[in-house]
Chain A
């Protein structure tokens, strides 16, 4: 059938997908040039994450921030991760940062840059430490629970852990108040299996949107004390700590992309159903 013989609806159903990709790519840029702000309501899982940290963490408590996401997932995970770090610092917690992604150093440096004003008040070794990358995820997470020193004898910069004041009495999962894991995969599962269940350490998840449905059963059953899902979770946390930032702006782009996807789905379905009778 030549292009001239197609009806309007058939042409609608046959729009080249590259046209949609171009519109999407250009449409996503708009909020970064001119921010489009929408009201953001707080979901219960993000509120529980925020309130859980505020209720559980006392000044001087040691918490773990696990980086299990790479640079490619910064748009999704980073805003919530930065908000959590700020919250920990404001609650007076001492932070251990480590990660299971090979580009964890870049993420750590970006975390310090984005929360620069908060980290500037802290002293490295006394208030926070960075231990770097650990491979072989679940086995390492299990071992970290029984002895951090069996995996990391020094921090990332080669200083023995015993020489870092905040690490003097910290070596086991039971010395840790809670864990927040930023994930693109299943690393939070390992903390649930190897820290939450055997040692009772509260665990929370900062995941990409894709993990929302995977970890919701764990949150609903009380295994996770809180959960931030994707950019939306980041925007909610930014609102809760009173510092709207990157995720709040990015929500404009996400909303535009959703509107475009809905329009594409509707147009394709109209084209399909309108031309179905003709095919029969």
Chain B
């Protein structure tokens, strides 16, 4: 966004800059009331924006126009949505179980719809398919490492056989493979946090007009 020129825009920019520093006072100094205030303000504002956006989108944009066109069945999800609020009354709480059951059932059904091919079939085929003719040593290393790693990592979770002898070696290797995998995942997580922090460092400079906005 460009550097604002209107008073409200400038005020908003500086307030967000101050709130950011208030939040960072926790890691850079220690927990303090200023940090708490900023944290609570952030959570409250975020929930308010989420609530308003979701309510407006579902009621006015998604349900409103079809209802106006006479598609009365669009009122069913609205009723089911309101039934959720019976969670708050012990006497009629049982009514809230119907929308929850529909939500869980629909979510599970939709999730299962396309999960087998990309998550199982394609992954198995990809794991056991050797590199093409003329592939380099790195490709072959990856192929062997992933194939053996997958088998050993899966064997680590086979609990019906005792992990002894040949099984013991394989599961120990599987445990190492899992640790390497989790390490890589954690490394990526740290990388993401660094990128976010660099975004804040850039914003810090932009508000002070040290870096271009």
Interface residues of A in 144-201 (CB under 8 A from B): 151-154, 192-194, 196-198
Interface of B is mostly: helix
Contact B201 A32 (CB under 8 A): yes
| Min C-beta distance of A230 to chain B, whole Å | 6
Judged by a CB distance under 8 angstroms, whether B10 is at the interface is no
Contact B113 A194 (CB under 8 A): yes
- A213–B190 Cα distance when bound, in Å, is 13
Contact A133 B53 (CB under 8 A): yes
Contact B201 A25 (CB under 8 A): yes
- A25–B26 Cα distance when bound, in Å, is 13
Contact B126 A254 (CB under 8 A): no
- A217–B125 Cα distance when bound, in Å, is 11
Contact A209 B192 (CB under 8 A): yes
Contact B57 A132 (CB under 8 A): yes
Judged by a CB distance under 8 angstroms, whether A134 is at the interface is yes
Chain B 36-77 near chain A by CB (<8 Å), digits 1 or 0: 000000000000011001100110011001100000000000
Q: What size tier do the contact residues of chain A reach?
A: 35 or more
- A134–B62 Cα distance when bound, in Å, is 9
Chain A 203-236 near chain B by CB (<8 Å), digits 1 or 0: 0000011111110011011110000001100000
- A28–B82 Cα distance when bound, in Å, is 48
Which stretch in B83-91, B93-101, B204-212 binds the other chain? B204-212
Q: Per a CB cutoff under 8 Å, which of A18, A102, A142, A250 touches B29?
A: A18
By a CB distance below 8 angstroms, the chain B residues around A213 are 181, 184-185, 188
- A103–B107 Cα distance when bound, in Å, is 24
Contact B201 A113 (CB under 8 A): no
- A18–B106 Cα distance when bound, in Å, is 47
Which stretch in A1-9, A69-77, A121-129 binds the other chain? A69-77
Judged by a CB distance under 8 angstroms, whether A21 is at the interface is yes
Judged by a CB distance under 8 angstroms, whether B191 is at the interface is yes
Judged by a CB distance under 8 angstroms, whether B111 is at the interface is yes
Q: A133-B57, A139-B107, A209-B192 are in contact. Are A192 and B197 (CB under 8 A)?
A: no
Interface residues of B in 110-132 (CB under 8 A from A): 110-111, 113-115, 117-118, 122-123, 125-126
Chain B 173-195 near chain A by CB (<8 Å), digits 1 or 0: 00000000100110011111011
Contact A154 B61 (CB under 8 A): yes
By a CB distance below 8 angstroms, the chain B residues around A209 are 188-189, 191-192, 195
Judged by a CB distance under 8 angstroms, whether B199 is at the interface is yes
Judged by a CB distance under 8 angstroms, whether A135 is at the interface is yes
By a CB distance below 8 angstroms, the chain A residues around B2 are 113
Q: Per a CB cutoff under 8 Å, which of A102, A194, A222 touches B50?
A: A102
Contact A210 B191 (CB under 8 A): yes
Contact B192 A208 (CB under 8 A): yes
Judged by a CB distance under 8 angstroms, whether B133 is at the interface is no
Q: Per a CB cutoff under 8 Å, which of B1, B118, B188, B189 touches A196?
A: B118
By a CB distance below 8 angstroms, the chain B residues around A261 are 190, 194
| Min C-beta distance of B206 to chain A, whole Å | 8
Judged by a CB distance under 8 angstroms, whether A268 is at the interface is no
Contact A135 B126 (CB under 8 A): no
Q: Which residue in chain B gives the minimum CB-CB distance to A28?
A: B201
Chain A 244-280 near chain B by CB (<8 Å), digits 1 or 0: 0000001001100110010000000000000000000
Judged by a CB distance under 8 angstroms, whether A24 is at the interface is yes
| Min C-beta distance of B2 to chain A, whole Å | 8
Interface residues of A in 13-58 (CB under 8 A from B): 18, 21-22, 24-25, 28-29, 32-33
Q: A102-B49, A142-B113, A218-B118 are in contact. Are A21 and B27 (CB under 8 A)?
A: yes
Interface residue ranges, B against A (CB under 8 Å): 1-2, 24, 27-29, 49-50, 53-54, 57-58, 61-62, 65-66, 106-107, 110-111, 113-115, 117-118, 122-123, 125-126, 181, 184-185, 188-192, 194-199, 201-202, 204-205, 210-211
